A and B are shown apart, each in its own frame.
Chain A
């Protein structure tokens, strides 16, 4: 395999792992809040989290540029303060993958948390546990398989992210070219052998992910 292929693989795994970790940190509390809490703006949060699932990825990418680009709402102040912008760095690929994968985790984890019998939580409260301890000791352990299935799906989505990544991170070989972008480039430039190798690797990974997620899902129910 060529150096570009290896670097694309290495970058893709790094991006997907990081995006999955960020997903876990943001997505699990978010799923819990959506499943169990009542708060102002809940419907809006739910909509914003789910939107990337139905929007064309390039549209999501466009919004990310509007938000984080050098002249973006958050990006401009950051650029003025530090002279640094996230656009066209590999961090941008992590952001894009995170946003695209989040709805898969949140929806799966939320359904798993909602299926936990509320009487179990109430029992824990009457036995002296705070809501926080109850979530850690009762709700989340019982929703574990659904949450893990959601993380596996999120990882797969992050690994295959193309459109939003291209918009925010570009396609800079060795720096922001993930495997899906490398496949696109290889096909465009007629390097069919490289394309085939990467396609094979992604297909195999996706199969593994589906099997794992299916097993976890089956055990969850």
Chain B
């Protein structure tokens, strides 16, 4: 099955080259990555506002750009809706005029009917006569969405749609935006540099770094199987660590890290078999590290695999959880500055175990929670 959206774009600018290729199916594709990675540039190429040097862009089987066939559909004829960062609402027009702006070719009555329908559907009917400067941030976002959606675009582009909003509003509007995108069933491409936002909105996440795509995957796959150490770092995974391979089999990998012998699950489907003594990167989610309770007797290595011992050298309160930075007793430089592993525990656990007083802890990591990253 061919995908709804095929993008292949090369653009050379002074001091920056965008060279990306990815595809997306139905739903929302999020372009995620640090600022300056080329995400907005890609949107502008999709909308026809920027002409790539070479490449090919296909939406729903319709070729919008193809450098080898000299196809370059102008933005006016692409049927691609664009929600700009900061929304770009026309300040000299009312909400209704903004939403109806893209409907000029239609007869007056049809235009009015469609405008009214869109306003109603987005809960903007009462604001039809207002000017953009009289609206709240959330209302502006809905007007910008309405203006783009009124023309029934084949593809909707959103550039950092939530960045213009205050933090508390962002969260509420992120979910509202998600609901609107699901409700209208328009294929959409959203640009963001906030991973939580990306994860909440996306069906597929395309990770950008320095003008290239480093991974394109369904969102859960990205979170549990990042393609490389650098992707893991870009998406903000914590405890990304480096060790040495001892032995690799199709279903287990033994590795040495900070003087410890650790055992991790290998995925047979991936059949990743690095040679002994080669370097290997892996990560451990802070919430998957288990502290060993001292009131239950000595730890049993048969139940507690990958057992280690260390000192809490720092902790931070995140409201509902505590983040502990633990330094191993092993000699040598700690793996992450002044600590080796970050461990996250719920508030209740922190209080019951009296971690604020007691800083010496044994902990274990299940082999299934050590995720090996392909080199």
- Chain A positions near chain B (C-beta within 8 angstroms): 117, 119-120, 122-130, 138, 141-142
Q: Which of B48, B74, B102 meets A127, CB within 8 Å?
A: B102
Contact: A117 with B88, CB < 8 Å?
A: yes
Contacting pair A120 B101 (CB below 8 A):
no
B114 to chain A, nearest CB (A): 13
CB of B56 within 8 Å of the partner chain? no
B86-99 interface bits toward A, Cβ cutoff 8 Å, 1 = contact, 0 = none: 10101110000000
In the complex with contacts A119-B84, A141-B92, A142-B91, A124-B49 CB distance below 8 A:
no
18 additional A-B residue pairs with CB within 8 Å, beyond A125-B48, A127-B101: A117-B88, A119-B88, A120-B90, A123-B88, A124-B101, A126-B47, A126-B78, A126-B81, A127-B148, A128-B77, A128-B102, A128-B105, A128-B151, A129-B101, A129-B104, A138-B90, A141-B92, A142-B91
Contact of A142 among B77, B92, B101 (CB under 8 A): B92
Find out whether the CB atom of B88 lies under 8 angstroms from the CB atom of A129. Answer: no
**Residue B310 CB within 8 A of the other chain:** no
The answer to the question of B39 belonging to the interface, with a C-beta cut-off of 8 Å to chain A, is: no
A contacts with B: majority SS:
helix
> Are B91 and A125 neighbours in the complex by a CB distance under 8 Å?
no
Residues of A within 8 A of B85 (CB): 119
B88 CB contact (under 8 Å) in A120, A128, A130, A141: A120
Q: How far is the CA of A119 from the CA of B49 in the complex (A)?
A: 10
> Which residues of A have CB within 8 Å of B76?
125-126, 128-130
Chain A CB within 8 A of B147 CB = yes
Q: Which residue of A lies closest to B82 (CB)?
A: A126
Give the total number of A-B pairs whose CB atoms are below 8 A apart: 54
Does B64 have its Cβ within 8 Å of any Cβ on chain A?
no
Q: Kindly provide the distance from the CB of A138 to the nearest chain B CB, expressed in whole angstroms.
A: 6
Min C-beta distance of A91 to chain B, whole Å: 38
Q: Chain A residues with Cβ under 8 A from B84's Cβ?
A: 119, 122-123
Interface pairs A-B: 10 shortest CB-CB: A127-B102, A119-B88, A125-B75, A126-B82, A123-B88, A119-B84, A128-B76, A126-B75, A122-B49, A120-B88
Given A127-B101, A128-B105, A129-B76, verify A122-B151 contact (CB < 8 Å): no
A-B contact pairs, 22 of them (CB 8 A): A122-B47, A122-B49, A122-B75, A123-B82, A123-B84, A123-B88, A123-B90, A124-B90, A124-B101, A125-B48, A126-B48, A126-B75, A126-B76, A126-B78, A126-B81, A126-B82, A127-B101, A127-B151, A128-B102, A128-B104, A129-B101, A130-B76
Name B residues whose Cβ lies closer than 8 Å to a Cβ of A: 47-49, 74-78, 80-82, 84-86, 88, 90-92, 101-102, 104-105, 147-148, 151
In the bound complex, what is the Cα–Cα distance between A153 and B76 (angstroms)? 37
CA distance A123 to B147 in the complex (A): 10
Shortest Cβ gap from B77 to chain A (Å)? 8
CB distance from A178 to the nearest CB of B (A): 38
The closest CB in chain B to the CB of A128 belongs to: B76
A119's closest neighbor in chain B, by CB?
B88
Contact, CB under 8 Å: B80 / A126: yes
CA distance A141 to B93 in the complex (A): 10
Tell me the bound Cα distance from A109 to B81 in angstroms: 31
**Residue in chain B with minimal CB distance to A125:** B75
The residue of chain B having its C-beta at the shortest distance from the C-beta of A127 within the complex is B102
Q: Measured between alpha carbons, how far is A141 from B104 in the docked complex, in Å?
A: 18
The distance in angstroms between the C-alpha atoms of A120 and B87, with both chains bound, is 9
- Residues of chain B lying within 8 A (CB to CB) of residue A138: 90
Q: In this complex, what residue of A is CB-closest to B153?
A: A126
Query: For B105, what are the chain A residues with a Cβ–Cβ distance below 8 Å?
Result: 128
Closest CB in chain B relative to A143 CB, distance in Å: 11
Partner of A122, one of B77, B82, B92: B82
Which residues in B have their C-beta under 8 angstroms from that of A130?
Answer: 76
CB distance from A205 to the nearest CB of B (A): 31
Task: Tell me, in angstroms, the Cα distance from A127 to B91 when the chains sit together.
Answer: 16
Bound Cα distance A141, B90 (Å)? 10
Which chain A residues border B75 with CB–CB below 8 Å?
122, 125-126
Q: Find out whether the CB atom of B86 lies under 8 angstroms from the CB atom of A119.
A: yes
> What distance in Å separates the Cβ of B73 from its nearest Cβ neighbour in chain A?
12
Shortest CB-to-CB span from A54 to chain B, Å, is 33
Minimal Cβ-Cβ distance residue in B for A117: B88
Provide the bound-state CA to CA distance between A123 and B300, in Å.
Answer: 65
**Contact present for A122 and B91 (CB under 8 Å):** no
> Which B residues lie within 8 Å of A126 (CB)?
47-49, 75-76, 78, 80-82, 148
Q: Quick check: A125 and B49 within 8 Å, CB to CB?
A: yes
